[in-house]
Structure 1
Amino acid sequence: MIITEDKTLNYIKEVLENMPSDWLKLTTHRLDIYNEEQAKTEFLEQFEILFETNNAEKSALSELPTAYDYIRLGHPLSSVLEWAIAKLHHLKSENIISFSSATTPILAVLRKNLLTNKATQIVYSDELPAFFDTETIRKVYGYEFELKKVEKIAEIEKFDGSIIYLSQKNEISKANLDSKIDFFLNIHSELGSILFVNGKENESYISEIQHVRRRETIAMTPDDCFSALQILTENPTFKIPKREVEKNKNSVLASIKKITYSDSKAVVGSSGLSVQYAIMMGVIQDALENHKGKAIKFLVPPNCYGGTNDQARRVAACLDNVEVMDLPVDGDNDMVKSINTVLEKVAQLDAVPYIIAEIPTNPRVEVPDMIELEKALTKEYKTPNGEIAIQPVFILDQTFCPNVNFLGENQILSTVKTIAYVSGSKFPSGGKVTAGFAVANKKAAYLMDKIAKNSILCDNDATDLQMEFLAEQLPSMNQRIEDAYKNTRKFVTFIEEVLPAAKINFVSEELAKEGFTPSVFSLDLPTKGNTAEEKETHKRELNNKLITMMITQIPTESKYCVSYGQLKGCYWTIPATSTQGTTKESDKDYIARVSLSANMDLEKHKEVFTEFVKQI
C-alpha cells in the first residue's frame, strides 16, 4: 500500500512539473486526435503505461491523446486527478468523478433514482451545505430523498435504497468507503467536489452521473484540478491562489450591462449549459408558483446545438408537467412560421410556453425576420375557452452574436419577455474559460432572481478564475467581434469567387449593417453522384478533405475544433459529428462550419482553399 502510494504521489509530482501548458490553458481540443467512444479511457490507458515505466517527460505527456473534446466535460488534469485518487483507494478511475459543483453530483444520483423509482438517503455529519435548498430540490426538481444527520459514519444504518454521504472537511482524496455508503462526496469549499462511486453494484450509475456533468454543470476546472493535485501531493510551498474576486465581479457585471443594454440582474455561471440549466429550472419554478396546475412546454429546435437539445429533454424526462415540443427553424423551415404554429398548439393546451432558440441559428447562421418574429411572439393566441393564452418567454442563445442589442429599451424584442444568454467560452473570454452569462430585458427581469437562486442551488456560479478571465477579455469583446467579422466577410467573398457552386450560409450585408456580424459561416460544398446517398457521401468526403488540408498545411492556426470566438486562428468542424451529437440522425447537418478570428493569416487560408478547389 505504502509503496503504491509513494510511487503514485512521486509520479504525480513529476507530471505537475513537466505537463504541457495546454493542460491548463485549452478549453476545446482538436477533434482529429480525439476518439469520442474512448473519451478519458484512451488517455488514461496510455497515461498508465507512462506511469508503469516512470516516464513523466514533457514530450511523452504531450503525445497523449485528447481526453475530452470540451474541457467542461473533463480534461487531462481532471482525468489525472481522478486516476490518482482511484489509485490511492485501489479503485477503478471511472469510480471517481470530479465536479466544479458541490451540489450537482448529489442531483445526479437523485435523478437516476427518480427514473428508476429508488429511494435515496442523504447522510451528513456537520451541517447541510448552505446552497442545498431542500424544498426547491423537492418541489421544482421533483427529487425525493431522506435527510439523516449522524455524529460518525459508524452510526449509519442499512437503508433500502442509495446512501449518499457528504463530507465537508476540505479533503480531496480521503474517503471512508464503508460498505453501507453507496456514494461518498468530498466537498471542498474552494475547488469543487469529488464523488466516490462505492461498490460494484453502483457502477451502473457512472455513465449517467458523467452525463449530468456533461449537460448540467462542468468538471472541476483545470486550474482547480491543478490545485487539488498539489494538495494531494502535499506540496509544502503551494497555496491556492487568491484573486481579486469583488473587483473582477464588478468589472464583469459592468461589462455585461454595457454590452447587453440590460439593467436586470446578471447570472454568471460555470458554462453556457450551466446557465441554461439555471434558466430552465428558474422559469419552471416561476411557472409552478404563478401558473399553478398548468402544463409547461419548452419549444426547442430539433437540430440546434446538442447540449441545448439534450438538456431540455433531460429536464422534461424528470417532470410530469414539463414537455419539449419541436420548433423547426433551419434550412427549409422558417422560425417565425414555426413559432406561430407551435404557439397556436400551446394555446390550445392552455399551457405555459418557453421558447429556446439561437439567433443566428446553428449551424446555418440564419437570422429570422425580426419584425415578423416580434409579431409572432406578441400576438394574442386564444385558449379553447376564448381567453388570451399565457404570453411566451423567449430564451435567446445569442452566443454567435453576443454584441447585438436585443434587450435594450425600444429594441425589437423589448415588447417580448426575453432572457438572453451567451456561452463565455466563445467571444466573452476568447476561448480562455467555459463560463457563460444571462440577463433579461425589462419585461422578463422579474425572472432573474429565480434563475440566480437556481444557479446558486446547483453551485454552478462562475469560479473566481473564470471571473478574472472575463474581466480581462469582455472589455475588448465588441472590437474583436468587429475585426473577426471583417476577416470572415473577406473569406466568404473569396470562396464565392473561386467556388461559386458552393452554398454558403452567412449573414447578408444588410443584416451586418443591422449589427449581425458573426465570424462563423457554414459551407455546403458542391457534390456529385447519381443518387442522394452518393451525393451525400461525396460531400462528406470533400468536407474531410478540406479540413485535413487546412489543419495540416496551416497547423499553427487551423484546428479541427468546435469552438468559436477564439483570440487567434481559424476553427473547422462538422457540427453533426460534434455539437449535434444528441440530435436525431435525420435532423443532423453534415456541412462544414468555419469560424475565424481577428488574428489570423487570411491570405494563407485563401491559398490552401485555392489548392483544394484545384483538386476537386
Structure 2
Amino acid sequence: MKENKIKNYIGNVLKNMPMDWINLTTHRLDIYEEQLAKKQFLTEFEALFNNNNFDNKALSKLPTAYDYIRLGHPLSSVLEWGIAHLNNLNPDNVISFSSKTIPVFAVLRKNLLTNKNTQILYKESLPLAFDAEILQRVYGYKFTLKKIDCIEDFTEADNNKFDGSVIYISENDQVGKVNLHSNIDFYINHYKDLGSFLIVNGNQNESYISEIQHVRRRETIAMTPANSLSALNLLVENNLNENRLENNNHEALDANKNSVINSIREITGSHTKVQVASSGLSMQYAIMMGLIHDALENHKGKEIKFIVPPNCYGGTNDQARRVAASIDNVEVVDLLVDGENEMVSSIDQILDKIARQDAVPYIIAEIPTNPRVEVPNLENLLAVLSADRKTSEGKKAVAPVFILDQTFCPNVHFLGEGEILSTVKTIAYVSGSKFPSGGRCTAGYCVGNKETEALIDKIELHLHLCDNEATELQYKILANQLPSMNQRIAAAYKNTREFVNYIHKTLPEAKINFVSDALAARGFTPSVFSLDLPTKGSTADEREAYKRSLNLKLINLMITEIAHECKFCVSYGQLKGSYWTIPATSTQGTTKEGDKDYIVRVSISPTLDLELHKKVFAKFVESI
C-alpha cells in the first residue's frame, strides 16, 4: 500500500513538475537558504506528499534543493526520497551520483582521514574505470577487494573477522528496493548509463553522510536531472524502458563528441587532446590528481604546492584544500591577486620561495579574476613563468605548471602556436554551465599547449578513473551550443559595456570592476562586472553594514521590477536576461570570511531589455 502510494505520487509529480527542474543548472538565491539547503526542499516536498498535492504551482514554490546539480537538485532529491522511503530509510542516507566510482572514493577518503580499514565486495566485476593500484599509490586510499557470488555469502561470521567499513558494489536493472544486510555498511548500486546510488546503512555510519555529500559537491556531480528523471520513471514503472533522455546511441554520441572537440580546438587554438568532464570542478579535480600523479612519478620525494588565490571561486579553493588534506606531500599556498596585490609579482615571490624548497609548483588562477575582473600584464606573467630558478642548493628548480581558469573569457587564445602562454606549461579549463552551454548543462572542458601533452594524458586517466566524463546528453548540448559561443560572448560584452557606461554616468561614486577598453581590444570581453556601491556612516562597521543593505536593495529592486529577466542567481554566460549575486554569500560560500567580497556581481546576457535595466537602475539611484 505504502509502496503504491509513493510511486503514484512520484508519477504525478513527474507529470506536473516545473521545467526548471530539468533545465536549471544554477540555484535561485531568492528561494535558497544556505543553512537549510540540505533539508528544506524535502521537508516541504514531504508536506505536499502528505496532502497528495502535486500541483505545478505548489511544486514551483518549493525552495531550492541543495545548490543545483553538484550537491543535488530537485529531481535527484525526489529520487533519493523515493528510494529511501521504499527501503524505510532516512532520505539523507541515499545519495545519487553521476559517477560510478566516486561513491567508493567518498567512503575511502573518509576512512583514510580517520585511519579506518575498508573492504570492498563486488559481484561479477568492478566498474571498468576502477584501478586499485592508482587509488592506493596516488590517492593513498587503503582497502582490500573481495569478489563474492552473492551477498548472502558474506555472513556475520565473515564480517566479524573484518575491522572496518564494508562496501558492496552491484549493478541493477530495477530502481527501488534494496535487500539490506546489517553487516554491509555501504551499498553502491550502478544503473547502467544513469549513474549510481550510495546507501548509508546503519546508524553507526551516519557520520559519513555529510562528508560523502561534500565529495559529491566538490569532486563530481549528483546524477544529472535528465538521468534522475529516467531513474524516477524506472522507479515508478519498476522496469527498464526506452524513454530515457540519455540512451546508448553510440553513433550520435561519437558525432557529438567529435563536434565538441573540433569546436573547442577552434575556440581555444589548442590542438592537444580535449578533455570534457561532467562539470568544471570535475575537470579541475582530474587536473589536480593528474598533476599529482605526474609529480609522484617524475619528481619523486618532492613536496607538491598548489598555489591558489584565497578569494577565488569557493569551489576551487575548497577542492584544492580538500586534496591537500588527504595527500601527505601536497600543500596549498595562498596567492594574493586582487586589489593592492598584483598577480604577477605575487606569483614571482611565491615561485622563488618554492624553488628554494625544491618543491613542485602548480598555480591555479582565474583570468580575468573573480569577482574583481582583473587581467594581469600577460607579458610579465610569461616572463615570471619562464624564469629559471634555483633551489637552495643551486640546482635547477622544477618549472611551474600554470592552470588557467578562463571561464570568464573562454574565447581568448592563450595556448595555440605563437600565443602568449604557448611556451610555458599551461593547461586551461572552462566551466561548462557558463558560455559553453549557455547555462543548459554543467559539462566543462580543458586543453593544454604542446608543453603539456604528457600531462593531458595523466589528466585523461584520472577523469576516467573518477568516471567524471561528460554524459551523453551533456555532449549533445555542447555540440549544439559551442558553435555559437563566440558570437554570444561578443553580443553579451556589447550589452555589458553599455550598461557599465550607464552606471558610471548615473552613479559615478560607485566603483565598477570591469575590463578596460584596451583589454577588450586584446580580446578580453567578459560580460560580468562587480559593483562596489557608495556607502556612508561614521565607523567602518556602519559603512560596511550600510553597503551590504544597499547591495540587497539594488538586487531586490532589479529582480522585482524586471522579474521576467533579472534573477537573483549565481550564473554567467546564460542565453538571456541578467543575473545578480553577492559573491561572499554565493560563489565564495566556503572562502575564509576575511577574503570574501561583499559587493554586487552582475552578469549580462546577449539578449535582454537593456533600456529597462537602465530605467530601473536610475530608479535605484534616485532612492538613495
TM-score strictly above 0.5: yes
In the other structure, the counterpart of 2:236 is 233
Q: Specify which of 87, 91, 100 is matched with residue 89 of structure 1.
A: 87
Between 1:511-520 and 1:24-33, the stretch displaced more is 24-33
Structure 1 residue 546 displacement after superposition:
0.2
In the other structure, the counterpart of 1:186 is 189
Between 1:58-67 and 1:280-289, the stretch displaced more is 58-67
Quote the Cα distance in structure 2 between the aligned partners of 1:235 and 1:16. Answer: 15
Quote the Cα distance in structure 2 between the aligned partners of 1:453 and 1:501. Answer: 51
Structure 1 position 416 matched with structure 2 position 424: yes
Structure 1 position 24 matched with structure 2 position 19: no
In the other structure, the counterpart of 2:364 is 356
The one-letter amino acid paired with 2:278 is: S
In the other structure, the counterpart of 1:299 is 307
Q: Give a deviation string over 1:144-182, Cα, whole Å, max 9, x none.
A: 001011111122121210000001233432322100000
TM-score (norm 1): 0.99
SS at match of 2:333: strand
The one-letter amino acid paired with 1:85 is: I
Structure 1 position 458 matched with structure 2 position 456: no
Contact 1:31 / 1:69 at 8 angstroms: preserved in 2?
no
In the other structure, the counterpart of 1:215 is 218
Q: Percent identity?
A: 66
In the other structure, the counterpart of 1:278 is 286
Structure 1 residue 416 displacement after superposition:
1.1
Quote the Cα distance in structure 1 between the aligned partners of 2:563 and 2:67. Answer: 18
Structure 1 position 554 matched with structure 2 position 562: yes
SS at match of 1:80: helix
Q: Specify which of 341, 364, 374 is matched with residue 333 of structure 1.
A: 341
Quote the Cα distance in structure 1 between the aligned partners of 2:15 and 2:38. Answer: 22
In the other structure, the counterpart of 1:200 is 203
Structure 1 residue 227 displacement after superposition:
0.1
In the other structure, the counterpart of 1:124 is 122
The one-letter amino acid paired with 1:212 is: V
Quote the Cα distance in structure 2 between the aligned partners of 1:247 and 1:347. Answer: 45
The one-letter amino acid paired with 1:217 is: T
The one-letter amino acid paired with 1:600 is: L
Q: Give a deviation string over 1:56-84, Cα, whole Å, max 9, x none.
A: 11121111111123322211100000000
SS at match of 1:376: helix
Quote the Cα distance in structure 2 between the aligned partners of 1:43 and 1:310. Answer: 25
Quote the Cα distance in structure 1 between the aligned partners of 2:206 and 2:15. Answer: 33
The one-letter amino acid paired with 2:169 is: L
In the other structure, the counterpart of 2:8 is 10
Contact 1:175 / 1:186 at 8 angstroms: preserved in 2?
no
Quote the Cα distance in structure 2 between the aligned partners of 1:220 and 1:172. Answer: 14
Q: Give a deviation string over 1:4-34, Cα, whole Å, max 9, x none.
A: 1010011111111111111111111210210
Quote the Cα distance in structure 1 between the aligned partners of 2:290 and 2:183. Answer: 35
Q: Give matches, 1:31-430, under 5 Å.
A: 31-156=29-154, 157-158=158-159, 159-234=162-237, 238-241=242-245, 242=247, 243=249, 244-430=252-438
TM-score (norm 2): 0.97
Structure 1 residue 444 displacement after superposition:
1.2
The one-letter amino acid paired with 2:218 is: R
SS at match of 2:134: helix
In the other structure, the counterpart of 1:437 is 445
The one-letter amino acid paired with 2:13 is: V
Structure 1 position 532 matched with structure 2 position 530: no
4+ residue runs over 3 A deviation: 235-238
Q: Give matches, 1:582-597, under 5 Å.
A: 582-597=590-605
The one-letter amino acid paired with 1:84 is: G
Quote the Cα distance in structure 2 between the aligned partners of 1:102 and 1:307. Answer: 22
Unpaired stretches in structure 1, ≥5 consecutive residues: none
Quote the Cα distance in structure 1 between the aligned partners of 2:361 and 2:429. Answer: 18
SS at match of 2:570: coil
Contact 2:86 / 2:177 at 8 angstroms: preserved in 1?
no
SS at match of 2:237: coil
Contact 2:176 / 2:238 at 8 angstroms: preserved in 1?
no
SS at match of 1:184: strand
Contact 1:125 / 1:167 at 8 angstroms: preserved in 2?
yes
Q: What is the RMSD of the two structures over their aligned residues, measured on CA atoms?
A: 1.0
Contact 1:264 / 1:441 at 8 angstroms: preserved in 2?
yes
SS at match of 2:476: helix
Structure 1 position 502 matched with structure 2 position 510: yes
Q: Give matches, 1:460-609, under 5 Å.
A: 460-609=468-617
SS at match of 1:324: strand
Structure 1 residue 235 displacement after superposition:
6.8
Unpaired stretches in structure 2, ≥5 consecutive residues: none
Quote the Cα distance in structure 1 between the aligned partners of 2:38 and 2:78. Answer: 10
Contact 2:277 / 2:445 at 8 angstroms: preserved in 1?
yes
Between 1:152-161 and 1:487-496, the stretch displaced more is 152-161
Between 1:231-240 and 1:173-182, the stretch displaced more is 231-240
Quote the Cα distance in structure 2 between the aligned partners of 1:171 and 1:324. Answer: 44
SS at match of 1:488: helix
Contact 1:216 / 1:311 at 8 angstroms: preserved in 2?
yes
SS at match of 1:202: helix
Aligned length: 614
Quote the Cα distance in structure 2 between the aligned partners of 1:213 and 1:609. Answer: 39
Contact 1:282 / 1:447 at 8 angstroms: preserved in 2?
yes
Quote the Cα distance in structure 1 between the aligned partners of 2:66 and 2:355. Answer: 42
Quote the Cα distance in structure 2 between the aligned partners of 1:132 and 1:220. Answer: 19
Q: Specify which of 611, 614, 621 is matched with residue 613 of structure 1.
A: 621
The one-letter amino acid paired with 2:60 is: S
Contact 1:230 / 1:238 at 8 angstroms: preserved in 2?
no
Structure 1 residue 238 displacement after superposition:
4.9
Quote the Cα distance in structure 1 between the aligned partners of 2:314 and 2:68. Answer: 13
Between 1:53-62 and 1:74-83, the stretch displaced more is 53-62
Quote the Cα distance in structure 1 between the aligned partners of 2:318 and 2:465. Answer: 21
Quote the Cα distance in structure 2 between the aligned partners of 1:176 and 1:516. Answer: 56
Contact 1:172 / 1:194 at 8 angstroms: preserved in 2?
no
Contact 2:175 / 2:238 at 8 angstroms: preserved in 1?
no
Quote the Cα distance in structure 2 between the aligned partners of 1:529 and 1:43. Answer: 39
Contact 2:70 / 2:218 at 8 angstroms: preserved in 1?
no
Contact 1:269 / 1:436 at 8 angstroms: preserved in 2?
yes
Quote the Cα distance in structure 1 between the aligned partners of 2:44 and 2:177. Answer: 26
